[in-house]
């Protein structure tokens, strides 16, 4: 993982850390919308994310889509990545609203391992000794957590694979994060608008009742969704998929802490073992990264 220029690498680490910190705080936001249907929340996320990204894109001077996205293949790839991230959003919201919080959190603990595996298989990224130790510790914690859960975690696997493949494709495309995310959200917006209109005409929409706070939260869902994804895209441009994988442990750890100290969820032995193994692995990874940054 040696980098020819460590300044972009350092910026990528900061972008990634900010992104995963925001995602770790997401339960505080979506819990305020637990009275709204999961798929309607997803549709609003898609629509208002598109609005936010188009507004941001227009506001950036001297940026044109054709400067960054030049072929039909790239547009079609962005259709695929847009579908993947929409599937990930929808599955996550559905899991939270149907009482599968444990499986959803496990999915985001597994996802970094999927990132590392995909990086090794498709991008030929290599692990040094410290990173190998970190990976083994993290894998040990996740395996213990999975075995203790007692069932094949299909929701967890769905979340991990969809976001892992999304990150791999974003890394391989190497496109500027802002125009790429703008196109992704625009691809998804028409279907989302159609769904919102359908729900409204059936009288089943949150928009059928005048609740200012609900309307505001749905409106702001665009910015809340797009900003960390934009940060993720910028991080993926600058650092390896392996580094992104380890940084992601910040997100489910934040969710666990919120669940325990804010919502009073139980913290089992499996959580303790998984938590300790992962943070021990993160310590190895962080010390190694800081040492390389200082050396360069």
Would you give the DSSP letter of residue 199? H
Q: pLDDT, tens digit, for every residue of 23-78?
A: 888 888 888 888 899 899 999 999 999 999 888 888 876 667 777 787 889 999 99
Q: Which of 7-11, 43-47, 148-152 has the lowest mean pLDDT?
A: 148-152
Q: Has residue 154 got a pLDDT over 90?
A: no
Comparing C-alpha atoms, which of 103, 98, 122 is closest to residue 41? 98
Q: Has residue 102 got a pLDDT over 80?
A: no
Average pLDDT estimate for 202-215: 89
Q: Has residue 250 got a pLDDT over 70?
A: yes
Average pLDDT estimate for 228-254: 82
Average pLDDT estimate for 143-156: 80
Q: Has residue 244 got a pLDDT over 50?
A: yes
Q: Has residue 196 got a pLDDT over 90?
A: yes
Can you give the pLDDT at residue 50?
93
Query: Would you state the structure tokens that stand for residue 3, as one six-digit string?
Result: 């980098």
Pick the residue with more confidence: 266 or 180? Answer: 180
Dihedral sign for Cα atoms in the order 222, 225, 230, 231: positive
Helix (H, G, I), strand (E, B) or coil at 196: helix
Q: Has residue 93 got a pLDDT over 70?
A: yes
Give whole-number Cα distances, 152 to 26, 95, 107, 190, 256, in Å.
Answer: 25, 15, 12, 35, 21
Average pLDDT, rounded, for the chain: 84
DSSP characters for 125-186?
----HHHHHHHHHHHHHHHHHHHHH-S--HHHHHHHHHHHHHHHHHHHH---HHHHHHHHHH
How many C-beta atoms lie closer than 10 Å to residue 72's C-beta? Answer: 8
Q: pLDDT, tens digit, for every residue of 116-131?
A: 788 888 888 787 888 7
Give whole-number Cα distances, 18 to 117, 176, 226, 240, in Å.
Answer: 23, 18, 13, 16
């Amino acid at each position: 993982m040696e980098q020819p220029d460590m300044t972009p690498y350092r910026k990528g680490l900061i972008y990634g850390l900010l992104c995963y910190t925001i995602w770790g705080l997401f339960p505080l936001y979506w819990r305020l919308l637990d009275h709204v249907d999961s798929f309607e929340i997803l549709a609003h996320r898609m629509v208002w994310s598109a609005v936010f990204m188009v507004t941001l894109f227009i506001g950036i001077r001297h940026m044109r889509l054709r400067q960054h996205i030049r072929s039909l293949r790239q547009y079609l790839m962005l259709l695929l990545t847009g579908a993947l991230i929409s599937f990930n959003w929808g599955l996550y919201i559905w899991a939270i609203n149907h009482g599968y919080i444990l499986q959803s959190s496990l999915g985001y603990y597994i996802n970094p391992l999927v990132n590392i595996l995909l990086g090794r298989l498709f991008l030929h990224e290599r692990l040094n000794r410290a990173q190998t130790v970190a990976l083994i510790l993290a894998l040990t914690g996740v395996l213990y957590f999975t075995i203790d859960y007692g069932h094949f975690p299909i929701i967890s696997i769905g979340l991990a694979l969809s976001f892992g493949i999304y990150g791999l494709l974003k890394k391989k495309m190497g496109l500027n994060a802002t125009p790429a995310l703008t196109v992704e959200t625009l691809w998804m917006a028409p279907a989302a608008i159609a769904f919102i209109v359908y729900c409204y005409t059936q009288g089943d929409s949150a928009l059928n009742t005048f609740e200012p706070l609900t309307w505001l939260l749905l409106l702001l869902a665009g910015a809340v969704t797009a900003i960390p994804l934009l940060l993720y895209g910028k991080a993926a441009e600058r650092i390896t998929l392996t580094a992104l994988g380890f940084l992601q442990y910040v997100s489910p750890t934040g969710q666990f802490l919120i669940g325990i100290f804010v919502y009073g969820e139980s913290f089992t032995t499996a959580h303790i073992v998984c938590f300790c193994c992962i943070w021990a692995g993160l310590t190895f990874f962080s010390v190694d990264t800081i040492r390389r940054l200082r050396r360069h």
